[in-house]
Structure 1
Amino acid sequence: MIALPYPALHASHGGIWIATEDGTRSVGRGEAVRIAADTPVILLNAPLAAQRLGYADLSGLDLLELFAFLRPARFMVPTPRGLSRTLGIDGPASDAEVAPFLRRAAEAMLAIADGDWPEREGAWHAAQSLARLRWSWAPMLSQRLTRPEKAERWLFSRLPEWSEAPPRTAPRTVTLDPGAVRDQLAGLTGAGAEERDGQRRYAEAAASAFAPRSLRDSPNLVLAEAGTGIGKTLGYLAPASLWATQADGAVWISTFTKALQRQLGHESERLFADPEQRRKRIVTRKGRENYLCLLNLEDALQGGFAGRAAVLAQLVARWAAYSADGDMIGGDLPGWLPSLFRRNGSTALTDRRGECVYAGCPHYRKCFIERAARASAEADIVIANHALVMVNAARGRETGTRPTRYVFDEGHHLFDAADAMFGVALSGQETIELRRWVTGPEGGSRGRRRGLAARLSDVASYDEAGAQAIADAVDAARALPSDGWLQRLAEGQPFGPIEHLLAAVRGLVYARDADGSGEAGYGIETELAEPDPALIDATPGAAAALEQLLRPLMALGRRLEAVLDEAPDWMDGAARARVEGAIASLGWRAETVAAWLALVARIGGPASAEFVDWLAVERIEGREIDIGVHRRWLDPTKPFAETVLKPAHGALVTSATLRAGGDWEVAESRSGAQHLLHPPLRFEAPSPFDYAGRSEVLIVTDIKRGDMGALAAAYARLIVAAQGGTLGLFTAIRRLRAVHARIADRLAREGLPLYAQHVDPIDTGTLVDIFRDDPRASLIGTDALRDGVDVPGRSLRLVVMEGVPWPKPSVLHAARRLANGGSAYDDRLVRARLAQAFGRLIRRADDSGAFVLLSSAMPSRLLSAFPPDTPVARIPLDEAIERVRRLSSVASLGQKAGEHVEPEAR
């Protein structure tokens, strides 16, 4: 291997080190910044090192970028430990050894380029493009990569084309035999596996969701609460796969978190061992905004991106050529890659604005989104998410392949998913997005945005009425907010009727800011009740502007439907698909404008018993980011039941915390079951784990509320006592950041790395991967870490919550609280959150650990959130620390301190 002439830099909370050919030395922050500014330095995760140095402009030879080039679509934990394991070389034993290790790792990685490797094809051309962009690694790669003798198949020539298939016939009517379900479960668990009675009973109960439906709009609904360790994934895969085979139909398994989607992908290997067969029979589906748009990528590669964003586009192109499915969010694109580019533009590589031209795209036949949609139409099992299921049902998408059987895993999140899906917001951000969708680029704006006229130019030239509708829509859209609207509102200079409405909303919200939170820099809101004259006066103009936009959108939709009926000579299959896609997009946008009109009509009018309406100014750290009028269903499971459950023939709603520590009425009210004609089947299987012997709940009684110093000290002492392996959960980002700032350096001196959501420039999924990979690491965060994080083994042995997770006292919550029993409603929500947080601790039978709540105000009535027989003690901090220390010592017996828990491929 050729020795590199460049120094390597490693910055952590424990110090800063520079390694050169002459050796390694510890340096101060100032000297490190000077060296990095003068000389290219080898780094691992430049944004993280920049944050530790306090030098935002830090750049250099980032090993993660080199890995993304050499090993596209491969997973690696982005730490020295993960890098050493991936490369098969000895890793550093301490922080001081990381910098010289980075030099060795760089040499080992560059050595890959000296020979043949699986992802070599396309590398030479990509390196030439990156050299023109002055990518730091390009000169060294160019020295090692020889020009191929044969022309390389580049991205667009490598990707396979999807093909049309005849419509799938409706599923046959079958009844599953209980014995066959048990046999299928036995086959999935494997020969010699211990038979678990709870899992068997669960599978039999889940099979009821696949029985033939007796009445229209009355699905066979099963509510199943299965404690951790029951094995519910295989428990429902058994009847689902059996029904799919016998009925020749598709079962959609819907999750709330991407982590569970990945887990289901791993478990599905038990159904079909052959990878090729598995790809055909089991398909993962997500919303189109998750997938790489090949047209956006092509535009980026051809000059649409500049600077660092252009480098990202080249690396994404390398990945796309080897990706299994083109999923940029939670797929095989490393989650850490976009975060390396700060203001990176990665979101511009997906179709987040609904601007797809469908068959008008030159890459339509290779489109990742279209491929996934067609694959799911032929699959036995479709792994989706709650949002996609609701979007497809509510907007009438893919009606020809609409599933009749659903499994809703993480069913306790259905209420929240429906709440977001069926809500309405007439805000500056939403309206400016619609303006851009209609008009396309305006002024000197850059990017690939295409307005209605550009997307439907050929159709418009054929149909005069359609062309006039497009022109009218573009004219009407100019009444919506445009760039700079927030600044104009702050200066009291709104332009156009919608901006005048938002200015009135802003003024009223600040006027009614009762608790002074507006001065504190947080987002503020007020209920939509008794609006002031300024808001009432702004309403007619806003309503007229929205009506003027809605009319041409609806007219254009009707004209496109007429064109489909007329079937002109030029309309082949591809053109028809394009027009159908445009009709669907227009329908969605027209429904949005109609909902805005209903919301505007509510201003000054009577309140609806079904909805909660309010005004809000959203802010981040004192900076306004959006202003608007909001509407949510008081009970969002009502539209969920109408659009998803009632048309289905059967559904299983399952979770380890479905009842939230309460009764079955809670599960029914939050799943939509109460809106169906017939009651659901209820099933319960408690966890088989020994919570009494392997866990305890410690409620610390001597941490004064609001004492940030005491809170930080408690976290630090508990993490030290556990020797890492701690998941810290906060109810406020501000307190999380304050605690992190106080304890990170102290823990580093103890050799205990601390990572933090909302602090470290790393995506949440990668933070969990890093945490899972290092038993001495700790991770602190908010709600996203409380739900769906699966870290079995010694890597997680302590969960610490800063306080009782009471609901935020918002206008929406106040209305639901009033309608659902007052304080009892609060208690249900808190019990659910506590149960989810505790559920992170014990993930398998040999796990053990402590759950610590740093709040003496924990009411005893909420203790039912924890599994029965779990020991609960109210004790001072010193005693809690001693118990954690003893429990951690016991947990480590029989386990190596450096035990590796293989992270999930992301």
Structure 2
Amino acid sequence: MSDKFVVIDLETTGNLPKKGDKIIQFGAVVIENGIITDRYSSLINPQKSIPAFIEELTGINDEMVKNAPLFAEISEKVMSMLDGAYFVAHNVLFDLSFLQEELIQAGFEGFYGSVLDTVEMARILFPTADGYKLTDLAEKENLQHDRPHQADSDAQVTAELFLILLKRLSSLPLITLKQLTQLSGGLKSDLQQMLDEITTNKNMDAEEFLNSIEMYRNLALKKRTPLGENDEAYKIDFLYPSTDKEKIGVVKQGLEFFEKRTGQFRMMDTVYQAFHNKNHTLIEAGTGVGKSLGYLLPAAWFSKQSKVPIVVSTHTIQLQEQLLKKEIPLLEKILPFKINSVLLKGRNHYLSLEKFSQTLMDENDNYDTILTKMQILVWLTETETGDKDELNLSSGGFIYWNKIKNEAPIFSQKEEWKEKDFYLKAKRDAKAADIIITNHSLLLSDIKGEGSILPAFEYVIIDEGHHLEKVASQFFGHSLDYLSARLMIGQFGLYEQKQLFYEMEGLLSAIPRQKAKLPHTFELNQMVIDLTYEMDEFFKLIAIYAKAKLTNKKGFNRIKVRFTHFDSEKERNALVHSAERAAFLLKDLHSAIMDRLESIKGAKGTLSAAEKNKLEELYLFGQELAELRNTVMKCFLKESKEVKWIEMDTRSPQNITTFLAQPAFVADQLREKFFQVKKAVVITSATLTVNHSFSYIMKELGLNGDVTVQQSIPSPFEYKNQVQLFIPEDLPAINSVTLDEYVIAITEHIITIAEATKGRMLLLFTAYDMLKKTYELIKESGFLNDYVLIAQGITSGSRTRLTRNFQRYDKAILLGTSSFWEGVDIPGEDLSCLIIVRLPFSSPEEPLTEAKCQLISEQGGNAFSEYSLPEAILRFKQGFGRLIRTEKDRGIMIVFDRRIVTTKYGKAFLKSIPSIPVKNGTINELVELIHSWL
């Protein structure tokens, strides 16, 4: 194997060498026999000016390259370095295309040796990484990366990363390496060549199966740590530590540094009593109480003493991960006995090893599928759960995942796969667990009892409990979106899926046909074509209907339009007729597939594993068709009391269109199906009360105030010394001016405040359109050019990534909407100023809000005080909670919406947050105060 690798990075004037873009900096690092032996870098004179955004990105300007060599002057050195070496780069095709162009112009033939791409290698070898940008990977591997977008620095970091990737490759079991080699012919780089050489050199006998790997049916899997046995005879002699002194004694056994928090101890007792006395309980626990340990410790104690499992449900994956990786290990250190805990998700989250093994060496795979198979092979040597959320899959990877996800088997599943089945393991572990962590949706699926993955349970803790009502509305409702419907039906228009119909035909031909003739394959294919056409027409009509009802949303891209029975327009009738046709076609295709499968299933004769697998795919397709038909019927063709609406993006009428139907209130269903059947449910969150009362949340969830224990535990933080609230007097009232005028006014204030606070600002908006206009105006003004502006929905990346980027820069401003009002944790100096642009009332035109308000009014209630106001206050409290995350944090909160002081109801917002100093004034007066406070 060539032991020489040259890692190259280029900075360029743009992306298109064929259109005249040129190299402005060249960086190379030479690796020989696993050691860096040489480095070379040079600025290059591109003989054209460097665009402003490239200068901003790289820090390289025209002056710096004026006296630099032309590429032709260093081309000979570059060619001699590359002689006999692998060309390695992070996104190799980009660097190679530039280098070829420049080398040919310098009179060389170009480089035609082997190339390796560290992006591709990282995706395969780090299948669970958050991201594959060089900066992300450098952070993951703790590599110093001081000057991103400088060729010498990037080449050095890429070289260090490449050595780590090589080491990871060499550590893989031989069987995995061989499987990777077989697949790697379809990659963009020459990884196959290198894998071949590594595999040849890896002596089979010398391979020691480390304690961590086991071989199973030709797959190398990580050995699983067995869950501790739940010893039935095991009796806890320890009494629950009821006094503070006893609790401190217990906690100090496991933790050296422990700071007593009275609120946390109070919470422990409340949770323990709830289970002991079989009471439903609401606990509002302010930031800093130590909520997770506050409920986990008494839950573990009660579970062990009573030999019952406790289910802990959260809304976000982040909190589930935090409980499993941080809080439970902490709990295990503290407790004087052993506990078993497990994280449970829905069945489709788990990999089916049997399906993966059967599809592993399929031919004619596309690039995404090959890459995903390689990722999974590596992942199997490191995962204990087989849970897809661990993987970083491409969109093409998700399509392949749908073929190999775990589902109830109809034809296949051999006994021998059951032993290692990830889903069955999760179920087994749950049966033996004391604490089962899950999410609100899965918790509710237990209500339907449709083969729930959760074992029987009576005691529950619901964290992030303010989300339960919303999740329940979605759970009891239906949604129909164009993309997933089109993708599901469309996959059977693909070549390989059409083949499935022909293979089924082949199997049927071996069976004496029933008298009732089944349709021929070409008829099945025609049915798929007809159905695809009808679904397209159906969604076009949904879009036409939504636009026809749209009156006052000029300039808004994302819209929500309510669908009601009062509309007598022809669009509504056309839509219902189209739904009927779609439902009819769905039923026909479903019946045709199921009849055939029944014939095959009922016939004697043995099917091969591959044939069973194909039939399984068809069976699941049939089930999905039935589900889709059921949703179409429920949404359009059956009378129901649900609130129905359309959400769409007007720029792309069809693709981003969803039809939703949800109950306006879920209190009755939750009361009957959940609270009345469980012995004790503890609901906790930092935001459950409105104006110190739990009545709003109890009404929403269907809890009886007379028998529900209510406990409010304030935050231990000294808010009055840590936060000041400022309200500018010189902004227009929000409803007295147009959106554009309001945006101009607040943008001026934002610029002034940013300069006073030096960034470190989080701006919370209630509507995306206002956020976008504000972001554009700040950019256009040029006043904050040396600040990093990060905006949700504009800057790419998940909420977590945007938050991480915000923390990375000193002068940063983060603009967020709905999901940023909560769950974003930015402790310390990273956030010193929070601006709430307007009080977070839901728009009265929001379909669900409109329907709830209508129902309350019809029943003689006051929709504003019973629903709109409390909902806005809870969200406001969530926003406030972003600012102070630790006892050392200090910060200012600014509310632009003057209604907080000019209206009667504004006081309710202020009363619902901790008591803090409130100051009114002009922007200039407030800036003075900001300076003295910060």
Instruction: Compute the TM-score of the two structures, normalised by the length of structure 2.
Output: 0.73
Which residue of structure 2 lines up, in the alignment, with residue 205 of structure 1?
Answer: 270
State the shift of 1:269 in Å: 0.4
How far apart, in 2, do the equivalents of 1:297 and 1:760 lie? 39
State the shift of 1:729 in Å: 2.5
Q: Does 1:108 align with 2:164?
A: no
State the shift of 1:667 in Å: 1.8
Answer yes or no: is the 8 Å Cα contact 1:358–1:578 preserved in 2. Answer: no
Q: Does 1:511 align with 2:541?
A: no
Answer yes or no: is the 8 Å Cα contact 1:114–1:144 preserved in 2. Answer: no
Per-residue CA deviations over 1:396-420 (Å, capped at 9, x if unaligned) read 2237822221110000011111111
Structure 2 counterpart of 1:7, from 3, 6, 9? 9
Partner SS state of residue 377, structure 1: helix
Which residue of structure 2 lines up, in the alignment, with residue 443 of structure 1?
Answer: 493
Q: Does 1:669 align with 2:699?
A: yes
Structure 2 counterpart of 1:187, from 250, 271, 295? 250
Pair 1:550–1:19, CA change in 2 (3 A): same
Pair 1:650–1:359, CA change in 2 (3 A): farther
Partner SS state of residue 758, structure 1: coil
Partner SS state of residue 7, structure 1: strand
Answer yes or no: is the 8 Å Cα contact 1:68–1:319 preserved in 2. Answer: no
Answer yes or no: is the 8 Å Cα contact 1:291–1:369 preserved in 2. Answer: yes
Which residue of structure 1 lines up, in the alignment, with residue 63 of structure 2?
Answer: none
Which residue of structure 2 lines up, in the alignment, with residue 254 of structure 1?
Answer: 313
Q: Does 1:828 align with 2:878?
A: no
Per-residue CA deviations over 1:451-499 (Å, capped at 9, x if unaligned) read 99979x99x999999x999999x9899599733557x53xxxxxxxxx3
How far apart, in 1, do the equivalents of 2:334 and 2:591 lie? 48
Which residue of structure 1 lines up, in the alignment, with residue 686 of structure 2?
Answer: 656
How far apart, in 2, do the equivalents of 1:775 and 1:140 lie? 45
How far apart, in 2, do the equivalents of 1:449 and 1:244 lie? 53
Per-residue CA deviations over 1:347-366 (Å, capped at 9, x if unaligned) read 54257998664782576654
Per-residue CA deviations over 1:519-555 (Å, capped at 9, x if unaligned) read 8674544433243356447647855874896799899
How far apart, in 1, do the equivalents of 2:238 and 2:605 lie? 49
Which residue of structure 2 lines up, in the alignment, with residue 234 of structure 1?
Answer: 293
Which residue of structure 2 lines up, in the alignment, with residue 326 of structure 1?
Answer: 386
Partner SS state of residue 657, structure 1: coil
Q: Does 1:611 align with 2:611?
A: no
How far apart, in 1, do the equivalents of 2:571 and 2:614 lie? 44
Pair 1:9–1:259, CA change in 2 (3 A): farther
Structure 2 counterpart of 1:373, from 417, 422, 427? 427
Partner SS state of residue 401, structure 1: coil
Which residue of structure 2 lines up, in the alignment, with residue 892 of structure 1?
Answer: none
Per-residue CA deviations over 1:23-81 (Å, capped at 9, x if unaligned) read 35794379899x99x9999559999xxxxxxxxxxxx987555444455546789674x
More displaced, 354-363 or 875-884? 354-363
Partner SS state of residue 482, structure 1: helix
Q: Letter of the 1:109 partner, please give it.
A: L
Pair 1:748–1:417, CA change in 2 (3 A): farther
Which residue of structure 1 lines up, in the alignment, with residue 531 of structure 2?
Answer: 482
How far apart, in 2, do the equivalents of 1:484 and 1:158 lie? 45
Q: Letter of the 1:512 partner, please give it.
A: K
Q: Does 1:528 align with 2:565?
A: yes
Pair 1:79–1:186, CA change in 2 (3 A): farther
Pair 1:185–1:448, CA change in 2 (3 A): farther
How far apart, in 1, do the equivalents of 2:445 and 2:502 lie? 22
Q: Letter of the 1:374 partner, please give it.
A: R
Which residue of structure 2 lines up, in the alignment, with residue 271 of structure 1?
Answer: 331
How far apart, in 2, do the equivalents of 1:657 and 1:416 lie? 14
Partner SS state of residue 527, structure 1: coil
Answer yes or no: is the 8 Å Cα contact 2:549–2:561 preserved in 1. Answer: no
Which residue of structure 2 lines up, in the alignment, with residue 57 of structure 1?
Answer: none
Pair 1:625–1:699, CA change in 2 (3 A): farther
More displaced, 403-412 or 130-139? 130-139
Structure 1 counterpart of 2:740, from 686, 691, 706? 706
Q: Letter of the 1:843 partner, please give it.
A: R
State the shift of 1:811 in Å: 2.4
Which residue of structure 2 lines up, in the alignment, with residue 845 of structure 1?
Answer: 887
Structure 2 counterpart of 1:133, from 167, 186, 193? 186
Pair 1:433–1:108, CA change in 2 (3 A): closer
Partner SS state of residue 228, structure 1: coil
How far apart, in 1, do the equivalents of 2:231 and 2:463 lie? 27
How far apart, in 1, do the equivalents of 2:855 and 2:444 lie? 25
Per-residue CA deviations over 1:845-866 (Å, capped at 9, x if unaligned) read 1111122233334452353365
More displaced, 245-254 or 649-658? 245-254
Instruction: Compute the TM-score of the two structures, normalised by the length of structure 1.
Output: 0.75
How far apart, in 1, do the equivalents of 2:262 and 2:53 lie? 63
More displaced, 678-687 or 146-155? 146-155
Pair 1:509–1:552, CA change in 2 (3 A): closer
More displaced, 399-408 or 346-355? 346-355
The 5 A counterparts of 1:872-883 are 872-883=918-929
Answer yes or no: is the 8 Å Cα contact 1:803–1:855 preserved in 2. Answer: yes
How far apart, in 1, do the equivalents of 2:385 and 2:186 lie? 28
Which residue of structure 2 lines up, in the alignment, with residue 893 of structure 1?
Answer: none
Answer yes or no: is the 8 Å Cα contact 1:113–1:144 preserved in 2. Answer: no
Answer yes or no: is the 8 Å Cα contact 1:73–1:322 preserved in 2. Answer: no
Partner SS state of residue 892, structure 2: strand
Which residue of structure 2 lines up, in the alignment, with residue 812 of structure 1?
Answer: 848
Pair 1:274–1:688, CA change in 2 (3 A): closer
How far apart, in 2, do the equivalents of 1:67 and 1:170 lie? 46
Pair 1:722–1:649, CA change in 2 (3 A): same
Q: Letter of the 1:861 partner, please give it.
A: K
Q: Letter of the 2:433 partner, please give it.
A: A
Pair 1:239–1:641, CA change in 2 (3 A): same
Pair 1:854–1:621, CA change in 2 (3 A): farther
Answer yes or no: is the 8 Å Cα contact 2:644–2:661 preserved in 1. Answer: yes
Answer yes or no: is the 8 Å Cα contact 1:162–1:371 preserved in 2. Answer: no
Answer yes or no: is the 8 Å Cα contact 2:284–2:687 preserved in 1. Answer: yes
| Contiguous gaps of at least 5 residues in structure 1 | 48-59, 214-219, 490-498, 889-906
How far apart, in 1, do the equivalents of 2:155 and 2:132 lie? 18
How far apart, in 2, do the equivalents of 1:645 and 1:865 lie? 30
How far apart, in 2, do the equivalents of 1:416 and 1:504 lie? 28
Which residue of structure 1 lines up, in the alignment, with residue 220 of structure 2?
Answer: 158
Per-residue CA deviations over 1:356-387 (Å, capped at 9, x if unaligned) read 64782576654433332332222111111111
Partner SS state of residue 618, structure 1: strand
Pair 1:767–1:124, CA change in 2 (3 A): farther
Answer yes or no: is the 8 Å Cα contact 2:121–2:165 preserved in 1. Answer: no
Answer yes or no: is the 8 Å Cα contact 1:170–1:249 preserved in 2. Answer: no
Q: Does 1:307 align with 2:367?
A: yes
Answer yes or no: is the 8 Å Cα contact 2:88–2:116 preserved in 1. Answer: yes
Give the % identical residues: 19
How far apart, in 2, do the equivalents of 1:137 and 1:872 lie? 64
Which residue of structure 1 lines up, in the alignment, with residue 828 of structure 2?
Answer: 793
State the shift of 1:286 in Å: 2.3
User: Larger relative contact order (C-alpha < 8 A, sep ≥ 6)?
Assistant: 1
How far apart, in 2, do the equivalents of 1:395 and 1:584 lie? 20
Q: Letter of the 1:515 partner, please give it.
A: N
Answer yes or no: is the 8 Å Cα contact 1:261–1:383 preserved in 2. Answer: yes
Which residue of structure 2 lines up, in the alignment, with residue 224 of structure 1?
Answer: 283
The 5 A counterparts of 1:279-294 are 281-292=340-351, 294=353
Answer yes or no: is the 8 Å Cα contact 2:124–2:371 preserved in 1. Answer: no
Q: Letter of the 2:552 partner, please give it.
A: D
Answer yes or no: is the 8 Å Cα contact 2:688–2:697 preserved in 1. Answer: yes
Q: Letter of the 2:51 partner, please give it.
A: G
The 5 A counterparts of 1:312-391 are 312-329=372-389, 331=390, 333=391, 337-338=392-393, 344-346=396-398, 348-350=400-402, 357=409, 360-361=412-413, 365-391=419-445
Pair 1:117–1:555, CA change in 2 (3 A): closer
Answer yes or no: is the 8 Å Cα contact 1:133–1:310 preserved in 2. Answer: yes
Pair 1:269–1:732, CA change in 2 (3 A): same
Which residue of structure 2 lines up, in the alignment, with residue 685 of structure 1?
Answer: 713
Aligned residues: 822
